Chains A and B, each alone.
Chain A
Amino acid sequence: ETAVFQTPNYHVTQVGNEVSFNCKQTLGHDTMYWYKQDSKKLLKIMFSYNNKQLIVNETVPRRFSPQSSDKAHLNLRIKSVEPEDSAVYLCASSSGLGGSYEQYFGPGTRLTVL
């Protein structure tokens, strides 16, 4: 099956803990993204990677760091979570960069910070 896969589906943790979310795409795409869907249900881009190079780094806190081992994987680590980090995190991929390429999304990881 070719798609974008994310683990875990849900994660509950306490303030100050470190969490890591995994994303893998089997679509053969070159570019991957992380989005955050906040409490207002608005999706906002956080990062994008093209062939393991960071392309976009929106003004997210430094405790967030994307990690990519190869172009099929893009993980997201949050070093010390804060309550405002509670959200759904969506991973996506597209076949290219620098033009218009359709993006495909994973099912998301819901993070709850207590």
Chain B
Amino acid sequence: GDQVEQSPSALSLHEGTGSALRCNFTTTMRAVQWFRKNSRGSLINLFYLASGTKENGRLKSAFDSKERYSTLHIRDAQLEDSGTYFCAAEPNSAGNKLTFGIGTRVLVRP
């Protein structure tokens, strides 16, 4: 069954505001990655977490393996943050099988 439930499916933000994306997992995950698909369709690595939180500029991610979720926070959103964001996680029981969420389409408006 579906192991990675990503929400929301779409998000609209005004420039300068913030919001959060979330992935819930139906099983224990070893690690999580967050990606953004750029205008050329390439997956750009944002974060890799085995636990805890990481911050990079206006993005911050958290991963709680025990509670089975991960979040990606965007603050002070800029137009270039628009794109589709994916979380992907590796189940403890499944070796290197990275399981992807369905993606969140983020639109930042002026």
A81 at the interface (CB under 8 A from B): no
A residues less than 8 Å from B31 (CB atoms): 100
Which residue of the partner chain, among A42, A98, A103, contacts B95 with CB atoms under 8 Å? A98
A40 at the interface (CB under 8 A from B): yes
> What is the interface residue range for chain B against chain A?
20 to 34
Is A43's CB under 8 angstroms from B41's CB?
no
Which residue of the partner chain, among A43, A48, A107, contacts B96 with CB atoms under 8 Å? A48
Is B96's CB under 8 angstroms from A94's CB?
yes
Contact with B along A73-111 (1 / 0, CB 8 A): 000000000000000101010100111111111111000
A107/B97 contact (C-beta < 8 A), A41-B103, A102-B48 known: no
Chain A contacts with B in 32-74, Cβ cutoff 8 A? 33, 40-45, 48, 55-56, 58
Question: Which of B97, B98, B103 is the most central at the interface, judged by chain A CB atoms within 10 Å of its CB?
Answer: B98
A25 at the interface (CB under 8 A from B): no
Sample of 12 more A-B contacts, CB < 8 Å, known A45-B98, A100-B50, A103-B88: A31-B96, A41-B84, A41-B102, A41-B103, A42-B102, A55-B95, A98-B96, A100-B31, A101-B96, A102-B45, A105-B35, A106-B42
Task: Kindly list the 5 A-B residue pairs having the minimum CB-CB distance in the complex, ordered from nearest.
Answer: A100-B31, A102-B48, A105-B43, A43-B100, A107-B42
Footprint of B on A, CB under 8 Å? 31, 33, 40-45, 48, 55-56, 58, 88, 90, 92, 94, 97-108
Footprint of A on B, CB under 8 Å? 30-31, 33, 35, 40-43, 45, 48, 50, 84, 86, 88, 90, 95-100, 102-103
